[in-house]
A and B are shown apart, each in its own frame.
Chain A
Amino acid sequence: MTPKVLIPVALGTNRDHDLAEAFALAGAEPHAVPLTALRSGEVSMADFQILAVPGGFSYGDALGAGRLFGLDLAGWFGDELHAAVERGVPVIGICNGFQALVRTGLLPGDVPSVLTENERATFECRWVTLGAEPANESAWLRDLSEPIRCPIAHGEGRFMSSDLAAVEARGGVALHYLDADGQRAHGAYPANPNGSPGDVAGVTDASGLVLGLMPHPENHVRDHQDPLRGRPGASGNALPLFRAGVAAAG
């Protein structure tokens, strides 16, 4: 059965179409659904096998990126959200979706954390290289033996955790920013574009089912999207990430 992907859309969400396109290419059936339709009961989270919280500027980033989207998710759908994770639904939150999942407390789940303003205090859009953490056993990452490349587009993406060592120790860091040689960026700009300590680009919860990341793998699922097309170094299409998530839902 083709897994159905729920892509909840808040006012100001804007990468829902991109995320839907990536999941469609990965073999799933995406549905972008406004929160109003979920709240009214017209659409139920229980009917979906994957939950993908998309990027954008929900509520204009008012009061901090992802805060109000997170409040909606936790306040209106908190029980359904936890029930979904309990029954094994893979969840991914990208950029604003990651910020919202962190605000709900679902990510990283064990240690209080925030995604705060980039070190350079400005919105930034550029391509980055990501490497999966070998110690992380999340199903989302199982086909990422090679680095993937994709753009970031955010102003509040620096992952600050009250105990990063604890997240690292349980293998909760999912993706690191890498430099051009495939090594950890060690905080060097622009390979690490936002100054996240430990070059953290994405994390998972303790179950590994819930992945959050700031970069946009949904914008590198076709080869023509690669700015290095036609040059050495053009590789790292991110479709395997989505395919792994779809496989895990099956």
Chain B
Amino acid sequence: MTNDHTFIVGPPRRHSSSSPLVATAASFGVAIDELGELRIAHVRGDLDEHQISVLGDALLADAPESDEVGKWWTPAQDQPAHAGTVIETGLRPGVTDREGAELVRAATELGLPVDAATIGTRWIVTPSDLSDEDLATLARRVLHNEVIERWHTGSLAPGFVDDAGADDHVATIALEGLDDAQLAELNGRRRLGLDPEEMVAIRDHFTELGRAPTDAELETLAQTWSEHCAHKTFRAHIDVVDGAGAVVDQVDGLLKSYLRAATDEIDAPWVRSAFVDNAGIVEFDADHDIALKAETHNHPSALEPFGGANTGVGGVVRDILGVSAKPIAVSDILCFGPTDLPVAELPEGVLHPHRIRDGVIAGVGDYGNKIGVPNIAGAIVHDDAYTTTPLVFAGCIGILPTGSNPTNAQPGDAIVVLGGAVGRDGVGGATFSSQTMQAETAEVAGSSVQIGDPIVEKGLIDVVLAARDAQLYTAITDCGAGGLSSSVGEMAETLGADVDLQLVPRKYQGLAPWEVWLSEAQERMVVAAPDPEPVVELARRWSVGASVIGRFTGEGRLVVRNGDDTVIDLDCGFLHDGRPRRHMTAMAPATGRPERTSLDLDADQVGALTLQLLAHPSIRSNESVLRTYDHEIQGGTVVRPYGGIECDGPADGTTTIPQGTSGDRAMVIGIGVNAVIGRHDAEAMAWHVVDEAVRNSVIGGADPNQLSLLDNFAWGNPTDPETLGSLVAACRGCHDAALAFGAPFVSGKDSLYNVFVGPDGTPDPVAPTLVLTAVGLCSHPELVPLTGVVDAGDDVWFIGPIDGWLGGSHLDEVLGADHGGAVPMPDAGAVARHHEMAAAIAAGLVRSAHDPSEGGIAVAAAEWAHAGRLGVDLDVLATPEVLFGEGSGRYLVEVAPGDAERFAALAPSATRIGSTIADPEVRLAGATITLDEVYAAYVDADATGGRS
């Protein structure tokens, strides 16, 4: 097309033979000397030569021109010689392209007639004689992701969305008379993800009405009734059977019987709201509440790691905004396969763990950094079990003036959508995330995966908080999975609503009405406003889109029109309560573990195993990852994920004084996660991770009398009785542990169907994984223990039983085999020890502390010494149980010798086991490990790559 212009922006960024990209190519068998990377801009508009030059100079080139900075040129002009083969990559039309959009905006400001723009990349590959096959491998495996991008050898044609013209077609789908097989066929063809009983209920409902549902009605029901939105496994009636098939237990809903039951029974006075809104809300101080939420974004992250993780953070931040809170912290717990997995062992249809890891980390960082919310808590776990099903847990915490989240929409209130416009990307995410993944899922589900636009969400935060403070809305929610269908649908649950889809802003024409209604276009919030005008005006002030799309009616029907055509007319009662309850069967897990094989350790083995453990991928430092996250913005961070004298030792809990509060109270986040124990005993794992989250928060200064919990389950296919059996056991463990600790669950999220079905049909389920987040309050931020040993000559105390458990331990991970033995058993006695520790901290007696978790006392002592650049000398027995055992309610504590008596009085469970020393070494049961050795094993020297 004559008015499409291509700009190439130099100089190339050069990826040499030592760069991660070239190394990744080599792992796929493609040998490259060097990769050059140039940006290209495709611009559509009627530009003359002068205007082309103005655009290039003002918007693309980096003035001034010198050898070091950028120039631009068009293909018609002379180009610097770049020997090599050219591959170009670019976003698929319609994928969020913030840079392209900004180029159009800026060019328009400059008076240039630009209609559209998109940004891509030109790669220059040397040597230039690679085979077509090698070039294709390079493009597919290293340079682009086909889910969101295109590639071409040589110049890539500009990818603009063709305005296809309006598509107002509303299809109806005849259901009357369909038998079970026909319903199943329809269910599969439209990827509705519904149960057979649900298809029958929908058929019968419309048969009774005497009409066929529209496509939009059927899709709305599928979204609303999806596992993602309806949590139907967690609400199901479950028969638990034994090996002989006899029913041994019945569960009247996991959520009701276990998680909510614990919260109801604890009846904590600090809980303002639990399980009802987008996020749980608990008291912070006399004037403020905090809102908590943790989410999963596993399926999208497996397909498009950057976009999946990016929108995962965006989604959970909107959950917090959806209860009118200002986001003040994000967390991320990431589970990946081994990054050194040989390419030959990579299943078809699966991205390499290294690429998933890099993309996810870049996606998490990009979103949090750009919206200006510090990332201050997290963990990275590596295990074979996560190769085909990586897990991405994203959490967010917000703060709001006490009682400032209105939840009382009224008939007649306007429905206002704030934020971005709708496109075809992100249609069907809720149903997609509620099904198992297969090798070809990347192709069919590509439209379910999106790229976030954090800048829009930053604007949304400003608008919503200003609107909240001006009391401009009566209810608010976010547009997540299911788009308007779930957000407006939920808000209208009792009132009913009337919406005109023609009022919904779109990125481009050609969307069918049901797509507009269902699209999960990111960065949108919905508010109910008695008077929408001031809301729209606020949004304009902050450069955020706002549209009034309808009103709440009070008539109890969900009515959606497209101009004059009725697209949806559903009874809210059927939509929200018409789903038949699931009945499921769970197999009670086998209990009992083989006896532990005994293992004698000499001093050399103690040293070697400690160093091996320190280098274990789930234990080794991830500081370089954290450095790519802004953990300082908002100025509240007191304890960071890495601390100590060089800020490179691992902290336990992280502590924040929220901006705008009095300053004498802090919020503490503690996280517990374990990849191994759940495979042996899910109930014990639940206790174990609750305890880990609690002790981390206690070290961060939290009062164990006022903790609130978030649960995140990532399990396999719950229709498999064994999988469901372990889920039931984990929920029971959560319930019992929460009661023991007096810590209520306030919100949570279950992610099921984390199963990859390979090309040969073999299911590969994820390891049952439970992430627990404990959030607590600290009324003495100045007394929070430091990270890492503070001074030589102090006493080292140990709180708790010195013998840990070795079943499911990281020791067995590095030994490469399960040597039997019990996993860490539920230990209600840990509760008292947490209180002892907290009392000692509150008395100002704890100089520093560390939690023995993965790798036990040996690893904890080494990390602790490393963080403080001082030694420790521990007089303990050289048994594997003492050195490497893992367990609950245990702490390493540094106390000044003069405080010994007071400390011992406050912590009767504590034993003095050694002292801190000036020599930079860890002395442990006869072994001596130098801090240089610890550094070499533990510290992550990698510079992280990835997109910025």
> What are the residues of chain A within 8 A of B522 when measuring CB–CB?
none
Taking CB atoms and an 8 Å cut-off, the chain B residues in 597-630 that contact chain A are 626-630
Select the stretch in B407-415, B453-461, B581-589 that faces chain A: B453-461
28 contacting pairs across A/B (C-beta < 8 A): A11-B456, A14-B371, A14-B458, A17-B634, A21-B659, A34-B541, A34-B542, A36-B540, A57-B454, A57-B458, A62-B99, A62-B101, A62-B103, A63-B103, A63-B106, A112-B63, A114-B62, A117-B13, A123-B365, A125-B631, A126-B627, A160-B68, A219-B632, A219-B633, A221-B635, A224-B638, A225-B636, A227-B643
Q: Are A122 and B372 in contact (CB under 8 A)?
A: no
Select the stretch in B209-217, B332-340, B914-922, B939-947 that faces chain A: B939-947
A145 to B790, CA, bound (A): 29
User: B109: shortest Cβ distance to chain A, in Å?
Assistant: 7
Contact with A along B339-373 (1 / 0, CB 8 A): 00000000000000000000000000100011110
**A207 contacts partner chain B, Cβ-Cβ < 8 Å:** no
**A8 contacts partner chain B, Cβ-Cβ < 8 Å:** no
The residue from B58, B64, B102, B365 contacting A59, defined by CB atoms under 8 A apart: B102
The residue from A34, A37, A60, A121 contacting B99, defined by CB atoms under 8 A apart: A60
**B740 contacts partner chain A, Cβ-Cβ < 8 Å:** no
A123 to B946, CA, bound (A): 10
**A198 contacts partner chain B, Cβ-Cβ < 8 Å:** no
**B657 contacts partner chain A, Cβ-Cβ < 8 Å:** yes
**B782 contacts partner chain A, Cβ-Cβ < 8 Å:** yes
Select the stretch in A67-75, A84-92, A135-143, A169-177 that faces chain B: A67-75
User: A7: shortest Cβ distance to chain B, in Å?
Assistant: 13
User: A224: shortest Cβ distance to chain B, in Å?
Assistant: 5
> What are the residues of chain A within 8 A of B626 when measuring CB–CB?
125
Q: Which of A21, A72, A153 has the most CB of B within 10 A?
A: A153
B540: nearest chain-A partner, CB-CB: A36
A231 to B646, CA, bound (A): 11
Q: Are A36 and B543 in contact (CB under 8 A)?
A: yes
User: A248: shortest Cβ distance to chain B, in Å?
Assistant: 23
Count, chain B residues at interface, CB 8 A: 64
**B171 contacts partner chain A, Cβ-Cβ < 8 Å:** no
Contact with A along B642-669 (1 / 0, CB 8 A): 0101010000000001010001000000
Q: Are B543 and A227 in contact (CB under 8 A)?
A: no
> What are the residues of chain A within 8 A of B62 when measuring CB–CB?
64, 114, 116
Contact with B along A1-21 (1 / 0, CB 8 A): 000000001011111011001
Contact with B along A44-59 (1 / 0, CB 8 A): 0000000000001101
Q: Are A14 and B370 in contact (CB under 8 A)?
A: yes
Q: Are A151 and B628 in contact (CB under 8 A)?
A: no
> What are the residues of chain B within 8 A of A126 when measuring CB–CB?
627, 647
**A218 contacts partner chain B, Cβ-Cβ < 8 Å:** yes
A154 to B66, CA, bound (A): 23
> What are the residues of chain B within 8 A of A153 when measuring CB–CB?
369, 630, 632-633
A122-B628 in contact given A60-B98, A60-B102, A62-B99 (Cβ < 8 Å)? yes
B655: nearest chain-A partner, CB-CB: A224
Q: Are A67 and B59 in contact (CB under 8 A)?
A: yes
Contact with A along B193-218 (1 / 0, CB 8 A): 00000000000000000000000000
Extra contacts, 16 of them, besides A17-B659, A218-B635, A231-B645 (Cβ < 8 A), are A11-B456, A14-B633, A37-B541, A57-B369, A62-B99, A112-B64, A112-B66, A114-B63, A117-B948, A120-B943, A125-B626, A125-B629, A125-B630, A162-B64, A219-B633, A230-B786
Q: Are A62 and B102 in contact (CB under 8 A)?
A: yes
User: A165: shortest Cβ distance to chain B, in Å?
Assistant: 14
A9 to B631, CA, bound (A): 21
Q: Are A216 and B371 in contact (CB under 8 A)?
A: no
Contact with B along A94-123 (1 / 0, CB 8 A): 000000000000000000111011001111
A241 to B453, CA, bound (A): 34
Q: Are A60 and B633 in contact (CB under 8 A)?
A: no
Q: Which of B365, B459, B948 has the most CB of A within 10 A?
A: B948
**A77 contacts partner chain B, Cβ-Cβ < 8 Å:** no
> What are the residues of chain A within 8 A of B628 when measuring CB–CB?
122-125
Q: Are B659 and A116 in contact (CB under 8 A)?
A: no
A122 to B101, CA, bound (A): 24
Q: Are B647 and A227 in contact (CB under 8 A)?
A: yes
Q: Are B455 and A123 in contact (CB under 8 A)?
A: no
Q: Are A12 and B659 in contact (CB under 8 A)?
A: no
> What are the residues of chain B within 8 A of A82 when measuring CB–CB?
none
Taking CB atoms and an 8 Å cut-off, the chain A residues in 194-233 that contact chain B are 216, 218-219, 221-222, 224-225, 227-231, 233
A219-B635 in contact given A122-B948, A125-B627, A231-B786 (Cβ < 8 Å)? yes
**B157 contacts partner chain A, Cβ-Cβ < 8 Å:** no
Taking CB atoms and an 8 Å cut-off, the chain B residues in 908-948 that contact chain A are 943-946, 948
B632: nearest chain-A partner, CB-CB: A151
A151 to B453, CA, bound (A): 25
Of all A-B residue pairs in the complex, the 3 with the closest CB atoms, nearest first, are A14-B372, A112-B64, A62-B102
Q: Are A63 and B638 in contact (CB under 8 A)?
A: no
Q: Are A114 and B458 in contact (CB under 8 A)?
A: no
Contact with A along B83-110 (1 / 0, CB 8 A): 0000000000000001101110110011
A228 to B636, CA, bound (A): 15
A125-B632 in contact given A56-B372, A224-B638 (Cβ < 8 Å)? yes
Taking CB atoms and an 8 Å cut-off, the chain A residues in 144-171 that contact chain B are 151, 153, 155, 160, 162
Contact with A along B244-278 (1 / 0, CB 8 A): 00000000000000000000000000000000000
A122-B59 in contact given A59-B102, A224-B657 (Cβ < 8 Å)? no
The residue from A11, A18, A125, A155 contacting B458, defined by CB atoms under 8 A apart: A11
A19: nearest chain-B partner, CB-CB: B635
Taking CB atoms and an 8 Å cut-off, the chain B residues in 34-82 that contact chain A are 58-60, 62-64, 66, 68-69
> What are the residues of chain A within 8 A of B786 when measuring CB–CB?
229-231
**B524 contacts partner chain A, Cβ-Cβ < 8 Å:** no
A20 to B786, CA, bound (A): 29
Q: Are B635 and A60 in contact (CB under 8 A)?
A: no
Q: Are A11 and B640 in contact (CB under 8 A)?
A: no
User: A32: shortest Cβ distance to chain B, in Å?
Assistant: 9
> What are the residues of chain B within 8 A of A57 when measuring CB–CB?
369-370, 454-455, 458
Q: Are A122 and B946 in contact (CB under 8 A)?
A: yes
A123-B369 in contact given A18-B634, A60-B455 (Cβ < 8 Å)? yes
A68-B541 in contact given A11-B459, A124-B628, A153-B632 (Cβ < 8 Å)? no
A151 to B541, CA, bound (A): 31
> What are the residues of chain A within 8 A of B782 when measuring CB–CB?
224
User: B941: shortest Cβ distance to chain A, in Å?
Assistant: 12
> What are the residues of chain A within 8 A of B542 when measuring CB–CB?
11, 34, 36
Q: Are B99 and A63 in contact (CB under 8 A)?
A: yes
> What are the residues of chain A within 8 A of B885 when measuring CB–CB?
none
Q: Are A116 and B369 in contact (CB under 8 A)?
A: no
> What are the residues of chain B within 8 A of A122 when measuring CB–CB?
628, 943-946, 948
**B489 contacts partner chain A, Cβ-Cβ < 8 Å:** no
User: B779: shortest Cβ distance to chain A, in Å?
Assistant: 14
**B505 contacts partner chain A, Cβ-Cβ < 8 Å:** no
> What are the residues of chain B within 8 A of A114 when measuring CB–CB?
62-64, 69
A126 to B625, CA, bound (A): 12
B373: nearest chain-A partner, CB-CB: A14
**B423 contacts partner chain A, Cβ-Cβ < 8 Å:** no
> What are the residues of chain B within 8 A of A35 when measuring CB–CB?
543
Q: Are B102 and A71 in contact (CB under 8 A)?
A: no
User: A157: shortest Cβ distance to chain B, in Å?
Assistant: 11
User: B261: shortest Cβ distance to chain A, in Å?
Assistant: 39
> What are the residues of chain A within 8 A of B110 when measuring CB–CB?
71, 75
Q: Are A224 and B781 in contact (CB under 8 A)?
A: yes
A105: nearest chain-B partner, CB-CB: B63
A112: nearest chain-B partner, CB-CB: B64
User: A188: shortest Cβ distance to chain B, in Å?
Assistant: 14
A18 to B634, CA, bound (A): 6
> What are the residues of chain A within 8 A of B459 when measuring CB–CB?
11-12
**B637 contacts partner chain A, Cβ-Cβ < 8 Å:** yes
Q: Are B455 and A124 in contact (CB under 8 A)?
A: no
A64 to B371, CA, bound (A): 17
